[in-house]
Amino acid sequence: MATKQKTRPVHEVRLGVVKAAIWANETDNGVRHNVTLSRIYKDGDEWKDSTSFGRDDLPLVAKVVDKAHDWIFEEASSTS
Question: Residue 5 has what pLDDT?
Answer: 63
Model confidence pLDDT, tens digit, residues 29-80 = 999 999 999 999 999 999 999 999 999 999 999 999 999 999 999 998 887 6
Q: In the prediction, which pLDDT does 1 show? A: 55
Q: Would you state the pLDDT for residue 4?
A: 59
- The 3-state DSSP class for residue 70 equals helix
Q: Residue 10: what residue type?
A: V
Give backbone dihedrals phi and psi of 30, rounded to 5 degrees, phi first: 105, -170
Q: Which amino acid is at 50?
A: S
